[in-house]
Chain A
Amino acid sequence: GAGVSQSPSNKVTEKGKDVELRCDPISGHTALYWYRQRLGQGLEFLIYFQGNSAPDKSGLPSDRFSAERTGESVSTLTIQRTQQEDSAVYLCASSTYAEQFFGPGTRLTVL
Chain B
Amino acid sequence: KNEVEQSPQNLTAQEGEFITINCSYSVGISALHWLQQHPGGGIVSLFMLSSGKKKHGRLIATINIQEKHSSLHITASHPRDSAVYICAVSTGGGADGLTFGKGTHLIIQP
Contacts and interface: CB of A to CB of B under 8 A. Distances in A.
Interface residues of B, number: 23
B97 A45 contact: yes
A98 B42 contact: no
A41 B84 CA distance: 12
Interface stretch (B60-68, B69-77, B98-106): B98-106
Nearest to A99: B48
Interface of A is mostly: strand
B95 A42 contact: no
A102 B43 contact: yes
B90 interface: yes
B17 interface: no
Contacts, number: 56
B95 A50 contact: yes
Interface string A46-80: 11101000001011000000000000000000000
B31 interface: yes
Q: Which of B31, B42, B90 has the most CB of A within 10 A?
A: B42
B21 interface: no
29 contacts: A31-B95, A33-B98, A35-B98, A41-B102, A42-B100, A42-B103, A43-B98, A45-B97, A45-B99, A59-B97, A91-B43, A93-B43, A95-B95, A98-B31, A98-B90, A98-B94, A98-B95, A99-B33, A99-B45, A99-B48, A100-B33, A100-B45, A101-B45, A102-B42, A102-B43, A102-B44, A102-B45, A103-B42, A104-B42
